[in-house]
Amino acid sequence: MKRYRPTYFIGQAFSGLWRNGVMSFASIAVLMSCLVVLGSFTLLVANININLEALGLMNQIVAFVDDDMTEDDISRIEREIKSIPYVGNVTHITESEALDEWIEQVGEYGDLYEQFRDDNPLPDSFVLEYVDGAHYSDIMYNLGRIEGIESIRDERSLANTMQSLKNGIMLIFSWFLIVLFVVSVFVIINTVKLSVYSRKNEIEIMRYVGATGTFISLPFIIEGALIGLTASMLAYIVENFLYDYIQKSMADVVNVIKIIPLSDIRVVLFFGFAAVGIVTGIIGSTISLSKYTRS
C-alpha cells in the first residue's frame, strides 16, 4: 500500500472540520466554555489557598493595643500574653511596621498612605501563634482579660469561612465539570460522526482494498484533537482577559486580598488548557469511531 505523509492525515482532518463547519463551531464553542469554567474555578481555588496561607493556616490571633498605652504598658501586655498557657511565638508589630505592611500590600498606591507617617491611625499589635487548638477558647478568654487590649482579630474564624467557601466551590466545580465534560464529548462525538458518515462509502472502499483501522481512523482522531486544540487556545485567550480584568478590578477595590499574578500562571494555564482540550477531543473522536469504523 502507498505510504502517506503526515500532511495527508492532517489535510483530511481539516477537510472534515470545514465540511461540518456548523457542528465543528459548536464543538469548539462548547469545549471552550467548559475550559473557561474549569480554569476559572481552578484559579479561584488557587487564590483561596494563597490567602489561607497568608492567614497563618488558622493558628494565629492578632491582639490590637489601645492607642493610649505607653511603652511600659505595651511591654507589660507582651509579658502577660507570653505567660498565657499554650501560646507559642508572640510577635510585636509596632504602628510604624503596621503602616509599612499596609503600604506594601497596596503596591502602587502606597504613596497615598505616606501622609500618615506623622499621624499614624494604626495601633500596635501582637501576633500570637497557639500550639494547641484544643485550648483556643481558654487563650481567647485570657487575652480578653488583659488590660490595654482594645480588640482581638480571630483569623481562625476568617480562615474557617474561606475554607468553607473553598469546599463549596469545589463541590459546585465538580458537578459543573462533569456536566460540561459530558456535553463537550457528546458534541464532539456528533461532529466526528458527521465526518465519518459523509465519507462512509470512501471508508468502505478503503476497507475493501485492505486499509488498516489506524489508517482509516487517524484523520478523524486528528480532527477531534484539532477541535480540542482550537477550543483550548480560545479558552486561554478568554481566561487571560477575564483574569487580568478581575485582577485589576480587585486591586482598585480590595487591597488586603492576595491575588496570584497573571505572569506566574500563564504557562501552566496554556499547557493545562491544551492538554485537557486535546485529550477531550481524542476521547470524543475515539468513541464515535468505535461504531462507524468497526469491521
134 and 199 in a single domain? The answer is: no
Global confidence as pTM? 0.57
Q: Is 190 within the bounds of a domain?
A: yes
Shared domain check, 268 and 129: no
Q: Give the pLDDT score at 47.
A: 82
**Are 272 and 165 contained in the same domain?**
yes
Confidence of residue 295 (pLDDT cuts 50, 70, 90): very low
Residue 175 sits in the same domain as residue 288? yes
Which residues constitute the domain of residue 34?
6-54+160-292
Q: Do residues 166 and 287 both lie within one domain?
A: yes
Specify the number of domains making up the chain: 2
Q: Tell me, yes or no, whether 60 lies in a domain.
A: no
Percent of the chain with pLDDT over 70: 67
In a domain, 165, yes or no: yes
Digit-coded pLDDT (tens) for 129-155: 887 767 778 888 898 899 998 888 776
In a domain, 81, yes or no: yes
| 208, 287: one domain | yes
- If phi over 0 gives left and psi between -120 and 50 gives alpha, with beta otherwise, what is residue 58? left
β-sheet with 87-93: strand ranges across: 87-93, 125-130, 60-65, 149-154
**Per-residue pLDDT tens over the stretch 200-236:** 666 666 666 666 666 667 777 777 788 888 889 999 9
Helix (H) or strand (E) holding 169: helix 155-198
